[in-house]
């Protein structure tokens, strides 16, 4: 019987392979030093200097003319649709909320009162400038009775649902 070299796993754990029913053991490839190949190593990429700090795509300056998009929560209660959004650093007079057919649009501008040179930022993740968000309403609402409030940096818009299940009877007049 020829002696076979134990596999790496068998040598590492001390396990022994059992022979198959046919009386032979499956062969295991043996490491051959002559087949070793060298792998070229590359220098690691350097991190950008502080002057070239990474800026996320949503942290844009006021001067580039693009608008940011608000994050929102939209949910319903029994009688109304509620839209909530975090709008820190914005005065109520800088917000414009409009209801048009089945859509609510919130527009505004967050102004940075301090001018900082671009190279002086370590992180720039806050959005400064104009923003807007339009929300398609899932049900009919009564726009005349809508209410919007801003408290502790959270904008809350309450839109009363229109009662579409109510049937209104009208009298037919004859001439």
In a domain, 7, yes or no: no
Q: Does any domain span residue 21? A: no
Domain contains 29: no
Q: Is residue 30 situated within a structural domain?
A: no
| Residue range of the domain that includes 90 | 54-113+121-160
Output the domain CATH number for residue 74. Answer: 2.60.40.790
Q: For residue 2, how many other CB atoms are within 10 A of its CB?
A: 3
Would you state the structure tokens that stand for residue 36, as one six-digit string?
A: 């070793």
Walk along the chain (175 residues) and give the pLDDT tens digit of each residue. Answer: 566 777 777 777 777 666 555 555 555 555 565 665 555 555 555 545 544 444 444 444 444 567 888 899 999 999 999 999 998 888 898 899 999 878 999 999 888 888 888 788 888 888 888 999 999 999 999 999 999 999 999 999 999 998 777 777 778 888 7
Please check whether residue 80 lies inside any domain of the structure: yes
Number of domains, the chain: 1
* Residue with tokens 């998009």, as numbered in its chain: 69
Residue 46 lies in a domain: no
Residue 83 region, left (φ>0) first, then alpha (ψ -120 to 50), else beta? beta
Please give the model's pTM, rounded to 2 decimal places: 0.57
Q: Is residue 11 part of a domain?
A: no
Residue 98 lies in a domain: yes
């Amino acid at each position: 019987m020829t002696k076979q070299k134990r596999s790496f796993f068998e040598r590492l754990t001390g396990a022994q392979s059992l022979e198959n029913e046919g009386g032979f053991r499956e062969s295991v490839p043996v490491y051959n030093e002559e087949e070793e190949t060298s792998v070229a190593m590359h220098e690691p990429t350097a991190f950008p200097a502080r002057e070239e700090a990474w800026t996320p795509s949503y942290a844009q300056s006021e001067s580039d003319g693009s608008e940011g998009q608000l994050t929102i929560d939209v949910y319903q209660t029994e009688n109304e649709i509620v839209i909530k959004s975090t709008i820190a650093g914005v005065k109520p007079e800088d917000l414009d909320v409009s209801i048009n057919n089945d859509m609510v649009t919130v527009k505004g501008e967050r102004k940075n009162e301090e001018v900082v040179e671009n190279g002086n930022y370590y992180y720039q993740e806050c959005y400064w400038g104009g923003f807007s968000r339009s929300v398609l309403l899932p049900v009919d609402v009564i726009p005349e009775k809508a209410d919007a409030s801003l408290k502790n940096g959270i904008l809350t818009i309450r839109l009363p649902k229109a009662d579409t299940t109510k049937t209104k009877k009208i009298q037919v007049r004859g001439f």
